[in-house]
Every structure is written in structure tokens, then in C-alpha cells.
Structure 1
Amino acid sequence: MKQWIKAASLSLVILSSSMYAHAAEAAQKVGYVATGQAMAQLAKRYNVSEKLRQEFKDRIDELRGLEGRMKTKVEKMKRDGELMSASDRTKIQRELASLDSDYKLKAKALQEDQRRRGQEEEQKLVMKIRQAIQTVAKQEGYDLVVDAQAVLYANPGDDLSAKVISAVK
């Protein structure tokens, strides 16, 4: 019986030591990337905001023109309102209401289109960053790469942010 207990304990020791060896062997190389910082730098590099501004320039100018016409009508109403006939005042008020509703409609459509296009451009950058992360991780031999915001402490040598930013094409 004692011999059986010795054999069982010996096999337990061997089994547990082999488990530690497998755990040490399974250790992974983990890196991190500051994706927010990378997005900001790449947005500057690719002039995303300027690109979007140029894309919507004509519509923004149209809205400014509507604003100008509304302002002119309001000033005319303030300046000449008491001297105008009731029908002229009503006509200007209707024109103002029409311009205002047109302005609001176009402004809302513009805002929605700008938001949608901004998201599209952001998605393009996200895809470029992901591809760059995968490329850098494979080249450097990393098994796992996480966002820097999820990291409480890490070796600065495992920061792949600069390499990823330079790898984006």
C-alpha cells in the first residue's frame, strides 16, 4: 500500500511539473497599440477633414447664401416693417418662413451626409490600421496585440504604435 501511495505521489509530481512546462511553453508575446493616437495621426496625414470640407463645399456655400438672404429679409423687415403695407409684411414673413424651412431641411441633410461620410472615412482608416497591426505583429513575432487603453502596465518595448503608423500605406 505504501508503495502504491509513493507511486501515485511521484506520478502526481511528474504530471504537475509537466503542466508547468506546458504553461511556460504556451506563454505568448503580447504587444499593444494606441489606436486612438494612430487614428488621429493618420487622419492628419491623409487630410480627412480637408477632404470632407472640399467634398461638401458647394452645399455649405449654398447654406451660407440662404443665411444671407434670410438676414437681408429680416433687416428689411426691421428697417421698413412699420412703413410696409400688411400684404408686403405678410409676403416677407412667408418668404422668411419658406427660407427658414428650406435652410433647416438642407442643413439637416448636409449634417447627416457629413456624418455618414466621416464614418466611411474613419472605417477606411480603421481597416488600414488593422492591416498594419497584423503585418507588424507577424513581422515582430507577436501572438496578441491589444489596444493601449486596455493595458494597465506594459513594457514600453512592446508598444507597436509607431511601427503600425509607419506601416500604414
Structure 2
Amino acid sequence: MKQWMKAAGLSLVILSSSMYAQAAEAAQKVGYVATGQAMQQLAKRYNVTEKLRSEFKDRIDELRSIENRMKTKVDKAKRDGELLSESDRTKIQRELASLDSDYKLKAKALQEDQRRRGAEEEQKLVMKIRTAIQSVAKKEGYDIVVDAQAVLYADPKDDLSSKVISAVK
């Protein structure tokens, strides 16, 4: 019976010490990054908006030109409407319809291309931020880094946002 008690006591000691070891192992260093703020600051730094605007400038100017031609035709139709012959009115209406359809087609294509290029640029920034987060986390000894929006409370010393922003190349 004594041996059985010793064995039970020893197993209890081993079990409790392994639980403490697991608890100590579970204590990991956790940091957080405000990725939304980082994205905004990096987009400004890399002039993403200006870059995209200049990339699509010619197409935007072309759309403005079509708008001006349409406005000119509408003004002419209003101004000279009663003086125009039926065939001239029909011609202007067809030209307006053609310009309108051309405008809508080009505007839709431009919008889609801008959306696609914006997403590409955003993805590049995301990859840069992700690489910087991994680098800072390894350098600072963090086991886990989460987005600041997922954190209800954390010590400000675990905010890695500024370090990540400065680490992006």
C-alpha cells in the first residue's frame, strides 16, 4: 500500500509539473499592428493615388473630350432645334447616341482597369507590410502578431505599427 501511495504521489507530482511546463510554454509574446493605418501611410509614401492618376490620365482626358462633344451637340440641338431640318435633328440624335454609347463603354472599361490596378497596388503594399511584420516580429522576439482591430486591449509597448512602417522598404 505504501508503494502504491508513493507511485500515486509521484505521478501526481509529474502530472502537475508537466501542466506548469505547458503553461509556461503557452506564454508567448504577442504584438499588434494597425495594418489599416500602415496601408494609408505607405500609400501616401509611395504616391499610389498619383501614380494611378497619371497612368490613366490619357483615358480620363479622352472621356472628358467625349463629354464636351456631347455637351456641344446638346447645346446646338437646343439652340438651333427649331431651325434644323428633320434629317439634321435625326443626325444629331444619332451622333449623341453614338457618343453616349462610346462614353459608357470607355467609362466602364476605365473603371474596371482602375479597380484592377488599384487592387494590384494594394496587394503590393500588403506584401511589403507582411514582410516587414515578419522581420520586426523576429527581430523583437514576438511569437504572434495580430491586427490592431482584433485587439480589445493591449499594452502600448506591444504596438509594432511604427516599427513596421519604418521597416517597409
Same fold (TM > 0.5): yes
CA positional deviation for 1:36: 0.3
CA positional deviation for 1:16: 1.5
Cα distance between partner residues in 2 of 1:157 and 1:83 = 78
TM-score (norm 1): 0.95
Q: Aligned pair 1:164/2:160, yes or no?
A: no
Cα distance between partner residues in 2 of 1:103 and 1:21 = 69
Letter in 2 for 1:84: L
- Give the structure 2 partner of residue 61 of structure 1: 61
- Give the structure 2 partner of residue 113 of structure 1: 113
- Give the structure 1 partner of residue 7 of structure 2: 7
4+ runs deviating over 6 angstroms: none
Cα distance between partner residues in 1 of 2:25 and 2:53 = 53
- Give the structure 2 partner of residue 23 of structure 1: 23
Structure 2 regions of 5+ residues with no counterpart? none
Letter in 2 for 1:128: K
Cα distance between partner residues in 2 of 1:117 and 1:21 = 51
How many residues matched? 169
Letter in 2 for 1:80: D
Please give the secondary structure, in 2, of the residue aligned with 1:134.
helix
Please give the secondary structure, in 2, of the residue aligned with 1:82.
coil
Matches within 5 A, 1:24-39: 24-39=24-39
Superposition CA RMSD, Å: 1.2
CA positional deviation for 1:144: 0.8
- Give the structure 2 partner of residue 151 of structure 1: 151
CA positional deviation for 1:124: 0.5
Q: Deviations over 1:42-81 (max 9, x none)?
A: 0000000000000000000000000000000001111111
- Give the structure 2 partner of residue 89 of structure 1: 89
TM-score (norm 2): 0.95
Cα distance between partner residues in 1 of 2:115 and 2:140 = 37
CA positional deviation for 1:9: 3.7
Tell me the percent identity: 88
Letter in 1 for 2:102: D
Cα distance between partner residues in 2 of 1:32 and 1:3 = 52
Please give the secondary structure, in 1, of the residue aligned with 2:154.
coil
Please give the secondary structure, in 2, of the residue aligned with 1:125.
helix
Cα distance between partner residues in 2 of 1:21 and 1:102 = 71
Structure 1 regions of 5+ residues with no counterpart? none
